[in-house]
């Protein structure tokens, strides 16, 4: 089963391969959701400043019966911050909101502020390097264990790899059946950068897809379990989001393998919908 499976990042830090995403879970509710997930067996959680629920995530962690050292917490910088001083302040503010001494992984949420995504060509190379410089200092100061990026294209990754001192540990991007950015994934793999797959369930859009349901029946699993197994077999860390305990348990219970032929068929399946950065 994948519930207890971990992967080794390029800095020697172990990370659980199945985590709970918290996008769109509000700050008041997420504390309870985190505690329920910990009771079910989750030991890793993904959030962001722009999700507006960091303080609730922190309360869920330090109110649980599990040692802090057994929890892997990821958060992301606000996308509007693209300067060194602003990044340093954002890191300290995040620690205050969490009421925790350190963050396991900190990501640049997007190479561009949300207001510019898909609207301008500026990739903010200098601003992202300012982010990265402050993040590297946070690692050296013990405030953050590992750092990475999210929604980065190859040119954005190159900018950090060629100019930074620490290589990104992960690139968190959208990966699911119907949306497999093979070239970018292979490029990151060649650099030793782990892919984290957000929206591995495609926001539920494909649960009624005929082919996915045929394969789910073949393996005697739910469409959600099939989709998670797909990403896991691609070598991704997966971040399924749910506040439903039954679904939490189901998403952890991935104990089957998709055949090589079926994986090839599913990789070729295309989804005719626009992706959404989160």
278 inside domain:
no
Query: What CATH number does the domain containing 128 carry?
Result: 3.20.20.100
71 inside domain:
yes
Active-site residue (options: 2, 42, 51, 215):
51
Q: Which two tokens stand for residue 69?
A: 């050292």
CA-wise closest residue to 131 among 187, 192, 180, 80 = 80
154 inside domain:
yes
* Three-state DSSP class for residue 171: strand
228 inside domain:
yes
**N- to C-terminal Cα separation, the chain:** 27
Question: Residue 270 has what pLDDT?
Answer: 81
User: Any catalytic annotation for residue 2?
Assistant: no
198 inside domain:
yes
256 inside domain:
yes
CA-wise closest residue to 110 among 43, 42, 172, 179 = 172
DSSP states along 117-159:
TTT-----HHHHHHHHHHHHHHHHTTSEEEEEEES--HHHHHH
DSSP states along 4-64:
T-EEE-TTS-EEESB-EE-TT--HHHHHHHHHHHHHHT--EEE--GGGT-HHHHHHHHHTS
pLDDT confidence of 115, banded at 50, 70, 90? very high
> Which tens digits make up the pLDDT trace of 119-134?
899 999 999 999 999 9
276 inside domain:
no
CA-wise closest residue to 133 among 183, 82, 177 = 82
> Which tens digits make up the pLDDT trace of 178-209?
999 999 999 999 999 999 999 999 999 999 99
> Which tens digits make up the pLDDT trace of 57-75?
999 999 999 999 999 999 9
Percentage of residues of the chain with pLDDT beyond 90: 94
Beta partners for residue 72, in sequence order: 44
In terms of residue numbers, what domain contains 54? 6-268
**Cβ–Cβ < 8 Å for 108, 152:** yes
274 inside domain:
no
Total structural domains within the chain: 1
């Amino acid at each position: 089963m994948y519930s207890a499976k971990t992967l080794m990042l390029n800095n020697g830090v172990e990370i659980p391969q199945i985590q709970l995403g918290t996008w769109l879970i509000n700050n008041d509710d997420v504390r309870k959701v985190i505690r329920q997930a910990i009771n079910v067996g989750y030991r890793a959680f993904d959030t962001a400043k722009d999700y507006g629920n960091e303080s609730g995530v922190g309360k869920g962690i330090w109110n649980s019966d599990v040692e802090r050292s057994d929890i892997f917490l990821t958060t992301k910088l606000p996308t509007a911050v693209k300067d060194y001083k602003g990044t340093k302040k954002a890191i300290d503010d995040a620690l205050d909101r969490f009421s925790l001494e350190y963050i396991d992984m900190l990501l640049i949420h997007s190479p561009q502020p949300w207001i510019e995504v898909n609207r301008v060509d500026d990739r903010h190379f200098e601003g992202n390097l300012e982010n990265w410089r402050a993040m590297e200092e946070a690692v050296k100061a013990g405030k953050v264990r590992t750092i990475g990026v999210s929604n980065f294209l190859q040119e954005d990754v190159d900018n950090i790899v060629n100019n930074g001192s620490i290589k990104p540990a992960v690139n968190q991007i959208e990966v699911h059946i119907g949306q497999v950015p093979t070239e970018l994934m292979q490029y990151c793999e060649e650099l030793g950068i782990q892919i984290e797959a957000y929206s591995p369930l495609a926001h539920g859009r494909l649960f009624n897809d005929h082919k996915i349901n045929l394969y789910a029946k073949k393996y005697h699993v739910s469409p959600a379990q099939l989709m998670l197994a797909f990403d896991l077999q691609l070598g991704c860390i997966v971040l399924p989001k749910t506040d439903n305990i039954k679904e939490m348990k189901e998403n952890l219970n991935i104990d089957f393998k998709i055949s090589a032929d079926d994986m090839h068929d599913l990789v070729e399946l295309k989804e005719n919908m626009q992706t959404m950065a989160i």
